[in-house]
Chain A
């Protein structure tokens, strides 16, 4: 187990180092002045340029520059945005939790809806419920996310007017920024109309979460259904039946665990899809998340912001994927199945 942990940590460190090297070299690869790309400040005079170059160690060798870059990354000095001149770490710590909140809810919804539906479909396969589940998953898997979001807006916001069109919470409610998760912030906020604010934030959440969750739910349904169908046909299920165990006992003690095992790594695979979809949906719903923020940065050619934003998102995806991969590896005894001799 320790070996396994070490191996995964090593994998993570190497991957993140490569990502940092890429983000560092982006400063040189982006068009324009390297100094501006790295610092986010356009030097107004020759003296300021020399001062900045000295501050960012641009007059030293590339290795010193990289070390300095690493040092700054770790200490939280990520430079300033080119367009707003606000510290990047502040902007990201506001934008990133908003996205995280969105994809967390979307993932939870697809797990808690997709897996049970898939299970029921897998057990009663080729029955009406199963046909319904498969149809639903094929249809919802086929929707492009941006189009679905627009259809939702057309129906629920413009035609029916049930749900708000954009943003996280109505501006009437003044919610101080705390963790960045809006629902949590409202709960801990010291505000007289907490309840209304919470309901309002929930109403804002419904459409963006639904548009992201639908595709992932479809994937979970299909995968769970297939997994349970395969497992329930295996020899050990027949053997358990021949031992006279009850159907419930067979399913919950043997079938369920074995069919869940391949689903855990699937969550890791889904996180990058969720992240991408969240970025698209944020732009459509003006959700103040990292996707929206990055697209704004791209419009404004805000190179320091693009560089750091890309690094943060990819480190998140890598960390999450590797952790889930590690957990599934640790839970599944048969994962490293190499031939062994006798006991």
Chain B
């Protein structure tokens, strides 16, 4: 049984005048012990998926899903208290913007120590608890690569640099020893040495502690180095999903191919000063979403069938949503569709 199982999740958001399907039948699973990458452009709804999982979506937005389960328990049908207990110990989130996710009027130390679950404070009597809290906090800071913990602990969030805050957020997420870590673009503002350090830490935790990770990012290089499986998102629709290797070697969806082609790191014989391949146009805004397959207007293979939303199809653990996938010749497809 997968740890986190999302099937056909639709989130309709309130734009003021109407409700718009910002997520349209998104499917995503995270197996126990795997690193799942969630890739997509800015505005493709990655963070909204994270919000829907943790329940931080405003009450009047409409969330529907065939399945949104955590270890087989339906998250949508749960009471707030049950959900809170799961969030307390089992799921941890690292938010995209670290400085706004920290309380501006409390020191980092107070915030980190607040996150330590009471169950961890087993040594000694209650007056030794504070000392133990402190030790756990310092240990965590070192673990995520903040060496100068003294200078950091007494600071307020606006006094520290973004990359330190970013690491600090990871420390806060790891403090409760969760089973699933949702990292929402958590290496965004780091330079590459720090980033590698964090990625190594996460991979290490994945291997030694069986920590599952939902790694939300658009850093394809980082994903290919650490993730096991990945899901590609375009404009609120799941495009393709499968093992990272399979997707790299043989993308089935035109969008995945375009995405990989746009990253120079994956082009083996890229001549210097050559143009990178990219799709025409930009990602549509929420007010002007195309009907059917949302890639339609930008897709090189689009036909009139594409005004219908494609079904999700599976080939060997590799699922895609396209009427005209790349591995089948288009003519044959057309005949089949007719």
**A residues within 8 Å of B by Cβ?**
234-236, 238-246, 253-254, 257-258, 261, 332-334, 337, 340-343
Contact = CB atoms under 8 A, between A and B. Distances in A.
Given A236-B100, A241-B84, 7 more contacts: A239-B95, A242-B56, A245-B88, A258-B105, A334-B156, A340-B161, A342-B160
Contact of A244 (B88, B100, B148, B159): B88
Contact of B87 (A242, A253, A341): A242
B103 A254 contact: yes
Contacts of B152: 343
A343 B95 contact: no
A239 B105 contact: no
B93 interface: yes
B103 A236 contact: yes
A325 B159 CA distance: 22
Contacts, number: 87
Interface in B111-162: 114-115, 148, 151-152, 155-161
Contacts of B87: 241-244
B47 to A, nearest CB: 11
Interface residues of B, number: 38
A86 to B, nearest CB: 51
Given A234-B100, A243-B87, A343 B158 contact: no
A235 B104 CA distance: 11
B104 A241 contact: no
A243 B103 contact: no
Nearest to A253: B114
Contacts of B92: 242-243
User: Top 10 A-B pairs ranked by shortest CB distance?
Assistant: A244-B88, A244-B87, A235-B100, A239-B101, A342-B161, A333-B156, A242-B93, A238-B56, A242-B54, A334-B104
Contacts of A236: 100-104
B172 interface: yes
Interface of B: 51, 54-56, 84-89, 91-93, 95, 97, 100-106, 114-115, 148, 151-152, 155-161, 163-164, 172, 176
A8 B114 CA distance: 35
A333 B105 contact: yes
B236 to A, nearest CB: 21
Contacts of A332: 105
8 contacts: A239-B101, A241-B55, A242-B87, A244-B85, A244-B176, A254-B106, A343-B148, A343-B155
Contacts of A261: 105
Contacts of A235: 95, 97, 100-101
A333 B55 CA distance: 30
B95 A246 contact: no
A258 to B, nearest CB: 5
Contacts of B102: 236, 239
Contact of B103 (A240, A241, A341): A240
